[in-house]
Structure 1
Amino acid sequence: MSLTNSLRPGGRNGLARKESRDPIGYAVAALNVVAQSDLIDRLGLRKKTEQAVFTSTRGGFSVVTKAGRTFAKRGAQKPGVRVPSAGASGVFDLTPTEDEQMLVDVVGEFATEVVRPAATEADEACEAPVALLKSSLEIGLPILGVPEKLGGISEERSAVAGALVAEALARGDMGLAVATLAPGAVATAISLWGTDAQQATYLPAFTGDDVPAAALALSEPTALFDVLQPGATAVRRGDRYVLNGVKAGVPRGGDAELFVVGASLEGKPVLFLVEAGTAGVRVEADPSMGVRAATLSKLHLTDVEVPADAVLGETDGSTYVECVRLSRLAWCALAVGTAQAVLDYVTPYVKEREAFGEPIAHRQSVAFMVANIAIELQAMRLVTYKAASRAAQGKDFAREVALARNLCASKGMQIGLDGVQLLGGHGFVKEHPVERWYRDLRALGVMEGGVLV
């Protein structure tokens, strides 16, 4: 079934209509616009042989960040709008609902028909195609975690829906998934912890037609870096804060107009909203081994002054810790999607590849390796879904996300390695995508921030 035929016609303005839908129903409504977009033709949804044309720079860059947008201060310094926690059925069942499955199917088809064909060139160029990024905005990815009252599509906590979307996108390509999900991470963070003024100032840009690039910057280029003890510092000077430090692994840093930055304030990790045009903010390209399509960058902060109301959430470290956990949960979902792509690729390969007159799948060592991939993948998915479910219900999910992170980091990398091994010499060349998935899965052990559910 084609994507065009599987969706009902609808437009962006349709999100504002008061229809009888649950949260995922609103998400699906947001995704419907892809059916009538002319980007379908340009990206190859109607003809898979058509590919998006994009330009990119292979070399490094060091630039002053984008300052084309001014966020006018609005609202009052009082608690912002919060979506309620999801209801609990009392039954331990992590099976996606019918609407969640519909969302997965739509995003999955988008990942298969749009994201995956663009992945190889994007990986080589270290840049996502502009047309692909625009199409990801049209299908509503940045507003998945934004409350309906603020122009988004969430009526309750959407950690499960976010995890499902991240997984589905990563089956196309992890790097492009990170690039498309990065603005939504910032919008979700402001929705979860922002004051009324912060929400009124920044969220209209994410719910409008001209969605800004934005990034969640938590990682740092430091050996043995502990994300809960950031090296970047914030010092209070009168009615302002002065930030200094370097953040790493920042997706689409050169294009970002807004950053959520983690820094240490009086010994406590705190989140700050930093606009790209602020004096002292500089971005440097930082191409990596994997997740290259996300255009990972370093963010340099040199005596960057931000107002007192730039603090996002609490200053006791609790908001920062929750942000880290939700980010790790998103990375686990990305690992599940990429590992599923490996399994989907190697299974038919070992059945078709012949050696000594028979398919290599007949060899016990090969069959057992494929079976182990399937087993470990299902374990990764189970713990990730459980952590997402508890997060959506407002329950403590520290233990669950720690288990998910540990399992997805270790087993995800092993699945990538086994995928390369099963392809033999083919696993070492770029003709097959498994080597890219292997490089991407290595990111799970080091990446922090960037994405959020």
Structure 2
Amino acid sequence: MAQTRHGLASTERRDPIGYAVAALNRLAQSDVLDRLRARKQTEQAVYVATRSGFKAITAAGRTFARSGAAGEPGTRPQPARTSGVFDLTPTEDEQMLVDVVTELAHEVLRPAAAEADEACAVPEPVQKAALEVGLPVLGVPEALGGISEERSAMAGTLVAEALSKGDMGLAVALLAPGSVATALSLWGTDAQQQTYLPAFTGDDVAAAALALAEPAVLFDAMSPGTTAERTADGYVLNGVKSAVPRGDQAELFVVGAQLDGQPVLFLVESGSAGLTVAADPSMGVRAAGLSRLELDGVTVPADAVLGATDGTTYAECVRLSRLAWCALAVGTGQAVLDYVTPYVKERQAFGEPIAHRQSVAFMVADMATELQAMRLLTWKAASRAAAGKDFSREVALARSVCAEKGMRIGLDGVQLLGGHGFVKEHPVERWYRDLRAIGLMEGAVLV
């Protein structure tokens, strides 16, 4: 991976990660973590809207006032500059970013994860803490109210990895609005950016979701079953989307659909007629509040198309989404490894720690080796994406390894804990369920 950000920060100009750190450092200056750490478990109440299931018209949400120049290209983040130096060491600013988000994950996400998994919803204190550190605007250019000047795929990957060390489901829910904002930054027209991005850069951040997956056997993300038909005034969408994070709260969706034989992205507001959501609780990633989005004759205007209509924008969106899921797998896999390593050293059997058994020691060593391979492949793909280079091969390799080895790490974690790995007293069973999603999930988040 070509490391390109060393030495870019100066008194005249910060690098893009510097802007991210400036926003994220607000967390260290606030008392959010202290307050949440001091609260009793019972005070971290969670919303239970999806606990018993729901099916209703989507949230009416805010009214997005149309503005900007219709048809004009929007502001695009520039590719990260490269030096050609192969260096896998995070820069000082990148490490600061990782440290802040890791603290958020351990001090806020992890204590709330069990309840959030049970309720299929994100606790309100967790949402507030994520907003305070500026997660929704990480991929939004500074000119549009965000904190980046260059493409933020590398920063987004590091953030996703760090967040998922706390809980993958909560990480998905918290990254979902920023994923839509990033999509608008990468592919939105001037009118789309001016209309929708202000909702992500203020204090009252809109819930939003990227809806690509569908409840179909052998679903191919590059060939969605949802259809879009041209009309005199725009398009009519029909189909069903699944695994949509916080779908009951979302005010804006990015929906993938087939248009004239090509997959295309569409912006769909939650107040659109014919749009409904239903609870879609899953085996894993439950804290994300996954929902099913039903589109029955949903009419959108002609300017609702996001990006190109030849399939290239959609394909890049899928790849960036798969990159995000790889980062989530790395973070959760690291959480498993960090949990089982001290466990096997302390757990006694036949008068000695079970770590003294070669079968146990070798299993832990394999987990560490496979995790490092997952991380390096993911970082290489992220670095090419940030530089604006073709990363289709790299992300395909990363996804293949992360889907297989990530699930294996979760399975081995359960095995190493024995009976403890099967009960909810320990978080490893939840992490195993979450890791099973890596090869199946499409969309929801991107970097």
1:107 to 101, 104, 111: 101
Secondary structure of the residue aligned to 2:249 is: coil
Alignment of 1:270-349 (within 5 A): 270-349=264-343
Partner of 1:201: 195
Secondary structure of the residue aligned to 2:230 is: strand
Partner of 2:434: 440
Partner of 1:29: 22
Partner of 1:14: none
Paired residues of 1:336 and 1:412 also in contact (CA < 8 A): yes
**CA-to-partner distance for each residue in 1:387-444, whole Å, 9 max, x for gaps?**
0000000100000000000000000000000000000000000000000000000000
Partner of 2:355: 361
2:379 to 382, 385, 394: 385
Displacement of 1:215 in angstroms is: 0.1
Partner of 2:345: 351
So what's the TM-score if we normalise by structure 1?
0.94
- Provide the rounded CA distance (Å) in 1 between the counterparts of 2:315 and 2:302: 21
So what's the TM-score if we normalise by structure 2?
0.95
Residue identity opposite 1:240 in structure 2: G
Q: Name whichever of 48-57 and 422-431 sits farther off.
A: 48-57
Secondary structure of the residue aligned to 2:219 is: coil
- Provide the rounded CA distance (Å) in 2 between the counterparts of 1:327 and 1:210: 25
- Provide the rounded CA distance (Å) in 1 between the counterparts of 2:155 and 2:285: 22
Alignment of 1:161-310 (within 5 A): 161-310=155-304
Residue identity opposite 2:193 in structure 1: Q
- Provide the rounded CA distance (Å) in 1 between the counterparts of 2:434 and 2:131: 23
- Provide the rounded CA distance (Å) in 2 between the counterparts of 1:84 and 1:38: 35
1:129 to 116, 123, 127: 123
2:80 to 50, 75, 86: 86
Q: How many residue pairs are counted as aligned between the two chains? A: 435
- Provide the rounded CA distance (Å) in 2 between the counterparts of 1:215 and 1:255: 9
Alignment of 1:382-421 (within 5 A): 382-421=376-415
Displacement of 1:131 in angstroms is: 1.7
Secondary structure of the residue aligned to 1:444 is: coil
- Provide the rounded CA distance (Å) in 2 between the counterparts of 1:175 and 1:169: 10
Identity over aligned pairs, percent: 76
Paired residues of 1:42 and 1:52 also in contact (CA < 8 A): no
**CA-to-partner distance for each residue in 1:291-315, whole Å, 9 max, x for gaps?**
0000000000000000000000000
Displacement of 1:68 in angstroms is: 2.6
Residue identity opposite 1:54 in structure 2: V
Report runs of 4+ in structure 1 exceeding 3 Å deviation: 35-42, 46-51
Residue identity opposite 1:391 in structure 2: A
- Provide the rounded CA distance (Å) in 2 between the counterparts of 1:79 and 1:72: 19
Partner of 1:10: none
Paired residues of 2:164 and 2:328 also in contact (CA < 8 A): yes
Paired residues of 2:46 and 2:115 also in contact (CA < 8 A): no
**CA-to-partner distance for each residue in 1:240-260, whole Å, 9 max, x for gaps?**
100000000000000000000
Residue identity opposite 1:104 in structure 2: V
Displacement of 1:41 in angstroms is: 4.3
Paired residues of 2:248 and 2:291 also in contact (CA < 8 A): yes
Residue identity opposite 1:317 in structure 2: G
- Provide the rounded CA distance (Å) in 2 between the counterparts of 1:24 and 1:47: 32
2:57 to 52, 58, 64: 64
Secondary structure of the residue aligned to 1:242 is: strand
Displacement of 1:282 in angstroms is: 0.3
- Provide the rounded CA distance (Å) in 2 between the counterparts of 1:131 and 1:357: 44
- Provide the rounded CA distance (Å) in 1 between the counterparts of 2:391 and 2:154: 13
Distance 1:381 1:51, change over 3 A: farther
- Provide the rounded CA distance (Å) in 1 between the counterparts of 2:193 and 2:127: 24
Residue identity opposite 1:30 in structure 2: A
Residue identity opposite 2:228 in structure 1: A
Residue identity opposite 2:45 in structure 1: V
Is it true that 1:73 corresponds to 2:66 in the alignment?
Answer: yes
Structure 1 runs not aligned, ≥5 long? 1-17
Displacement of 1:209 in angstroms is: 1.1
Residue identity opposite 1:62 in structure 2: K
Structure 2 runs not aligned, ≥5 long? 1-10
**CA-to-partner distance for each residue in 1:132-156, whole Å, 9 max, x for gaps?**
1121011100000000000000110
Displacement of 1:19 in angstroms is: 7.0
Partner of 2:420: 426
Is it true that 1:52 corresponds to 2:28 in the alignment?
Answer: no
- Provide the rounded CA distance (Å) in 1 between the counterparts of 2:12 and 2:60: 38
Residue identity opposite 1:184 in structure 2: G
**CA-to-partner distance for each residue in 1:340-372, whole Å, 9 max, x for gaps?**
000000000000001000000000000000000
Displacement of 1:96 in angstroms is: 1.1
Is it true that 1:155 corresponds to 2:146 in the alignment?
Answer: no
Secondary structure of the residue aligned to 2:438 is: helix
Secondary structure of the residue aligned to 2:297 is: strand
Provide the aligned C-alpha RMSD in A.
1.3
Paired residues of 1:42 and 1:50 also in contact (CA < 8 A): no
**CA-to-partner distance for each residue in 1:6-30, whole Å, 9 max, x for gaps?**
xxxxxxxxxxxx9742211111111
- Provide the rounded CA distance (Å) in 1 between the counterparts of 2:229 and 2:273: 16
- Provide the rounded CA distance (Å) in 1 between the counterparts of 2:415 and 2:256: 39
